[in-house]
Amino acid sequence: MSEQPIDTDLVARENAARQSALERDYEALGEQLDRRGIPIDAIRDKVAAFAVAIPSWGVGTGGTRFARFPGPGEPRDIFDKIEDCAVIHQLTRATPTISLHIPWDRAEPALLKEAAARRGLAFDAMNSNTFQDHPGQHHSYKFGSLSHTDAATRAQAVEHNLECIEIGRAIGSKALTVWIGDGSNFPGQSDFARAFERYLDSMKQIYAALPEDWRLFTEHKIYEPAFYSTVVQDWGTNYLIARELGEKAFCLVDLGHHAPNVNIEMIVSRLIQFGKLGGFHFNDSKYGDDDLDAGVIDPYRLFLIFNELVAAERRAVPGFAPAHMLDQSHNVTDPIESLMLSAVEVTRAYAQALLVDRTALDAFQEENDALMASETLKTAFRTDVGPVLAMARLRSGGAVDPVAAYRASGYRRKVADERPAARGTGGGIV
């Protein structure tokens, strides 16, 4: 096993204190699942194999346009971020990869690989950034990037994405995620059709540079930072993009990027059916792109999405291999704690979805027994799979209770001493 940031003896002691209760609960649940014809150990093993990527930016404290309130021990650079990610994976055993964001995480590739490998981590999808202006940049993205009316600005944005691919290639990534802020704040500001044509043209250049074994993920979002229209506003447009680009292009679904009331699990189903589901940015939301911790607002919705994923797995949909990533903004919690619990929560939804009696569900659907079909899902959702998740962690060397172990370890206090506060508070963007 790789070097671990948290003392493994401490984790062992923490686990020991919880082990007997866990075994009792696991046994009781096992007996109940057995009555339902489900072997608990098989679920546990599937859970143990499940993984979700951590976005490098997630380990820093987030903020809003009104303010950012940093916490102690904020990571100062990508190496600090890798360290924090290692904590998350050590305790949850569910987050073996990190998703980098360029230019924020720019560093010598060899050093990046070495730092990650030392902690037993690897790199997930690369994320480009053309929604901000960066020092030394020639053209501003104030009025767009890949869809900008100015060809030189578009070229610069394309070039940046190519650089992201290069870095990714060097560190073992296999995918590029493109999210842009392009759009408009006023009716008339942008010609929808021309802007989309320019976007597609830029994306084709990026797609052309994609290595053979890579995937390209595009992400839609209904609004913010543009407040009247966005170029990639919904899954309909996102699907058109993926189809126009080619077979390595797929759609990424962020749970907070939809209009109010939209049925997200249905979008997931459509994208699977038409071969274009790329993966997810998991988080939760009540209003807009709130970027809250996965499952804290509507855990049943998260379950319903995994219900589609497990159903597709079971149908053995060709080429079905969605990428899982958290994408959250932690404004009022310790980011490490939020990311640990969110990884657990996503895994929980997966475990619950594995418990759905799909033979019964198929029959109820066929007979239009809506009530029992619903109950079949609810029965799976209501099952407290906590013991399964904890047992999977325990057997993989993680923590039975990740937050408790983390708090006991004093990691945050330690890094607070090591990492001097740097960035000031946000200012006056209202």
Chain center to CA of 110 = 25
Residues 6+ apart with CB under 8 A from 127: 55, 99, 100, 101, 102, 164, 176, 177, 179
Nearest residue (CB) to its own copies, 214 versus 239: 239
| Rounded distance between C-alpha atoms, residue 32 and residue 34, angstroms | 5
Least Å from the CB of residue 328 to its own copies = 10
Nearest residue (CB) to its own copies, 382 versus 414: 382
* CA nearest neighbour of 265 among 318, 310, 328: 310
The DSSP symbol for 429 reads -
| Rounded distance between C-alpha atoms, residue 194 and residue 145, angstroms | 14
Q: Are 67 and 428 in contact (CB under 8 A)?
A: no
Chain center to CA of 162 = 22
Nearest residue (CB) to its own copies, 274 versus 321: 274
Chain center to CA of 386 = 21
Least Å from the CB of residue 340 to its own copies = 10
Q: Which helix (H) or strand (E) holds 302?
A: helix 299-315
Q: What is the token pair recorded at 89?
A: 């994976």
Nearest residue (CB) to its own copies, 210 versus 343: 343
Least Å from the CB of residue 117 to its own copies = 26
Nearest residue (CB) to its own copies, 3 versus 368: 368
Q: Could you please report the per-residue DSSP string of 18-74? A: HHHHHHHHHHHHHHHHHHTT--HHHHHHHHHH---BEEGGGGS----SS-----TT-
Nearest residue (CB) to its own copies, 39 versus 72: 72
Nearest residue (CB) to its own copies, 210 versus 237: 237
Least Å from the CB of residue 414 to its own copies = 19
Least Å from the CB of residue 333 to its own copies = 5
The DSSP symbol for 215 reads E
